[in-house]
Amino acid sequence: MSTAIDIRSVVKRYGTATALHGVSLSIADNEFFTLLGPSGCGKTTLLRCIAGFEDVTEGEIRLFGQNIAGLDPNHRPVNTVFQQYALFPHMSVLENVAFGLKMKGVSLSDRTARAGRMLEMVHLSAFADRLPAQLSGGQQQRVALARALAPEPKVLLLDEPLSALDLKLRQAMRVELKTLQEQTGITFIFVTHDQEEALTMSDRIAVMSQGRVQQIGTARDIYEAPVNRFVADFIGETNLLEVTVDRIEGGIARVTLPGGHTITCPTAATTPGKHHISIRPERLSISAAGDLTATVERVVYLGTDLQLLARLTTGEEFHIRLQNSARAQVPAPGSTVALHLEEGAARLLAD
Amino acid sequence: MKGVRHYPGFLAMAVACLVILYAPLIVVTGYSFNGSTSITTWGGFSWRWYADVFTGPDAPRFKAAAWNSITIAILAATTATAIAVAASVAMIRGGRFKGKSATFALINLPLMVPEIVTAVATLIFFSAIGLTTGYMTILIAHITFCIPFAYLPIAARLQGIEETYEQAARDLYATRAQAFRLILLPLMMPGILSGFLLAFIISLDDFIITNFVKGAGMETLPTAIFGSVKQGIKPNIMAISTMMLAVSVLFVTLSYLVNRIGQRTRS
């Protein structure tokens, strides 16, 4: 598979502040790639650098082999779906969708036909003559998508496009976006701070924090095998415990847990000593003899799940999730339980 | 919370303000329809002074002055608006640049400087560079002091337009010029119209600066009216004043409406 976007050591500085510290990543053609991170992590800056709204301070951005870092946005065959859509308020829906084609010099009849087909694809043919202000948020979102896809960009950039929609619509749009990507075969680069969005749609995800890429991988990779504390903590819910590592061999660490029990687990760290271990709260079971001992402080009812807020005998706060099944025996607050770590529950982190 | 009507002294203050502000205008407007030659005794309703303005002995003088006033107002407002559009784009879209606050102050300086000072300074300047006073000097002076009046509504409008519209246009293969012409300019239009109308009326009404830089024999409506009043107030002056008032009210209302419509179309 060929590489659509190749980002090489991109640095972006604003005066003395650095937004991107040498980011490198490559995105395959026809991939749904997500930049995920909290606000201020640099994900939007990186997207704007690809679009051409920001100049990179150092580094290269290659689009199918061509360095586009110095080009103006109108000379880059990439299009953007903006967070607030930025539909031109004085133009009809059809004119909005046809705008990119018009700028590219496509004739009136051709661009009208093509814009019409794009509107059909997003199920808005009936709204072609309306103004954007006369559409609902979800409809505006789809017009923005059609507008960005109409000129057949090589890469489509999406800047938190679902954040302005309500929950139900957001969930429906996730499916629609993924379908659209598969239909068109265009590479999507999607920016979001919402991990659920990232996990459900992406082929691969780059988790970003403080201007750096922390980890790149599939949804399963970053959830099951986080490399560091940031990723483990940001993706899903986890318990982070400081532990002593006795030995590391062949990617497996031998770790002494608080309370003295010893386990083996996969590791991202390479040297013995003090490290953090991530234990997923849903990969634990209550058993007679366990790896950890905790006192339950509160039980929170979440519908499908029960969340137990507990404290280890060594003093650390600890969360446990139990499925809300008829068979579940729920410990009462105040009781002490032994916890068994299931296969894949624990992972040793690099920092 | 009680309404403002219940504040102590509200009624007295409101009445005093309204009377002081508007009683003279009402008197002038009312007496412009006076049938008698006297400016103080009522002689029944009549249009005779309006007819007098257009056909009476002073008519040629007023017509020439009105022509000057209107052409100067159109030219000055157009030029000032064009400059104000360029200035507002530079100020609001130009990012940070050295001397930005100083530039802002310079653009708006004519609003703060006492008009008489500007008038004297402009006259001295024109004679220093050897420009003969006349139509041209009035026009140049009017363009100068109209700029801030055109600038303020245009800048306010531009401030409310998100930069992402232009970015979206650039992203969709528009050049910088196309993004400006096809996206930014139409979105700014209510502000531009409003600025133009305001500048037009400011130019049309100006007396002090015009009077200094107009030169001999050149009159605009305000200076022509002033000239007539010096020889005693005739009722035809009230008619012409009333017409100017009507034009002013019309333009300011238009400017306001245009701005309000613009507010509604902003997404």
Kindly tell me the burial class for residue A212, based on how many C-beta atoms sit within 10 Å of its own C-beta (0-12, 13-18, 19 or more): middle
ipTM: 0.84
Q: B45: which strand partners?
A: B34
Between vectors from CA B260 to CA B250 and to CA A164, what angle results, nearest 5°? 170
Tell me the shortest Cα–Cα distance from B164 to chain A, in angstroms. 6
- What pLDDT, on a 0 to 100 scale, did the predictor assign at position A259? 83
How far is B65 from B74, CA to CA, in rounded Å?
A: 14
CB B86 within 8 A of CB B185: no
Distance CA B81, CA B200 (A): 10
Q: How far apart are CA A202 and CA B134, in angstroms?
A: 73
Identity of the residue in B175, B186, B267 whose CB atom sits nearest the CB atom of A74: B175
Mutation site, B163, B166, B173, interface A, largest A CB count within 10 A? B173
What is the reported pLDDT for B264?
A: 62
Q: Does the beta-carbon distance from A100 to B173 stay under 8 Å? A: yes
Per DSSP, the residues of A171-196 read HHHHHHHHHHHHHH--EEEEEES-HH
Q: Does A53 sit within 8 Å of B265, measured CB to CB?
A: no
Contact B198, B205 (CB under 8 A): no
The pLDDT value recorded for residue B267 is 43
Cα-Cα-Cα-Cα dihedral sign, residues A54, A59, A65, A67: positive
**Pairwise pLDDT comparison (A346 vs A164), residue with the higher score:** A346
Cβ–Cβ of B170/A52 closer than 8 Å? yes
Tell me the nearest-neighbour CA distance from A9 into chain B, angstroms: 24
Given a contact cutoff of 8 angstroms between Cβ atoms, the answer to whether A209 and A223 are in contact is: no
Give me the amino acid identity at B237: I
Mutate to test the interface with B, among A90, A92, A134, A155 (most CBs of B within 10 A): A90
pLDDT of B263: 64
B255 and B204 in contact (C-beta within 8 Å)? no
**Which chain A residues are within 8 Å of B267, Cβ to Cβ?**
87, 89, 132-133
> Which residues 125-164 on chain B approach chain A with CB closer than 8 angstroms?
162, 164
User: Tokens 């360029």 sit at which residue?
Assistant: B86
Phi, psi at residue A183, to the nearest 5°?
Answer: -60, -45
Q: CA of A333, closest CA in chain B: separation in Å?
A: 50
Rounding to the nearest 10 degrees, give the CA dihedral for residues A140, A144, A145, A151. Answer: 150
Q: What residues of A are in contact with residue B174 (Cβ under 8 Å)?
A: 74, 99, 103
Exposure of A144 in the CB half-sphere (CA atoms within 13 A):
30
**Burial of B46 from C-beta contacts in 10 A (0-12 / 13-18 / 19+):** middle
Does the structure show a pLDDT above 60 at A260?
Answer: yes
Q: How far is CA B234 from CA B18, B42, B101, in A?
A: 26, 14, 49
Cα A196 to Cα A34, A236, B67, B136, B178: the distances in Å are 11, 9, 70, 69, 39
pLDDT of residue A1: 65
Query: What residue ranges of chain A are covered by domains with CATH 3.40.50.300?
Result: 3-224
What's the pTM value of the predicted model, to 2 decimals? 0.83
> CATH 2.40.50.140 occupies which residues in chain A?
237-348
Which residue in the set A53, A100, A132 is minimally distant from B172, CB to CB?
A: A100
**Residue B93 C-alpha, separation from nearest chain A C-alpha, in angstroms:** 14
> Do residues A39 and A210 touch, judged by C-beta distance below 8 A?
no
As a whole number of angstroms, the distance between CA A90 and CA B181 comes to 13
Is residue A108 very low, low, confident or very high in pLDDT (cuts 50, 70, 90)? very high
**Which among A109-113, A247-251, B224-228 has the top mean pLDDT?**
A109-113
Chain B residues touching A100 at Cβ < 8 A: 172-173
Q: Among B162, B172, B187, whose Cβ lies nearest the Cβ of A103?
A: B172
- A251 backbone φψ class: left, alpha, beta (φ>0; ψ -120 to 50): left
The partner residues of A263 in beta bridges, in order of sequence, read A255
The CATH class, in words, for A237-348 is mainly beta
Size of interface A-B (CB pairs under 8 A): 66
Residues of B in contact with A73 (CB under 8 A): 167, 170-171
What CATH number is given for A3-224 in this structure? 3.40.50.300
pLDDT one digit per residue (tens) for chain B, 267 residues: 567 778 888 889 999 999 999 999 998 899 889 888 877 788 888 888 899 888 888 889 999 999 999 999 999 999 999 999 999 999 999 888 888 889 999 988 888 899 999 999 999 999 999 988 899 999 999 999 999 999 999 999 999 999 999 999 999 999 999 999 999 999 999 999 999 999 999 999 999 999 999 988 899 999 999 998 888 888 888 899 999 899 889 988 888 888 777 666 554
Closest residue in B to A79 (Cα–Cα): B171
- Are B173 and A132 within 8 A, CB to CB? no
CA–CA distance, B253 with B260 (Å, rounded to integer): 10
Is B263 near chain A, with CB under 8 Å? no
State how far residue B266 is from chain A, nearest Cα, in angstroms: 7
According to the model, what pLDDT value does residue B265 have?
58
CA distances in angstroms from A349 to A77, A244, B179, listed in the order given = 40, 12, 49
Alpha helix stretches (DSSP H) within B58-133: 59-93, 100-112, 115-128
Q: How far apart are CA B164 and CA B228, in angstroms?
A: 56
Top-confidence residue, B57 or A23: A23
Does residue B173 sit at the A interface (CB-CB below 8 Å)?
Answer: yes
Residue B177 contacts A, CB cutoff 8 Å: no
Contacts of A199 (CB under 8 A, 6+ apart): A205, A219, A223, A235
A82·B168 Cβ contact <8 A = yes
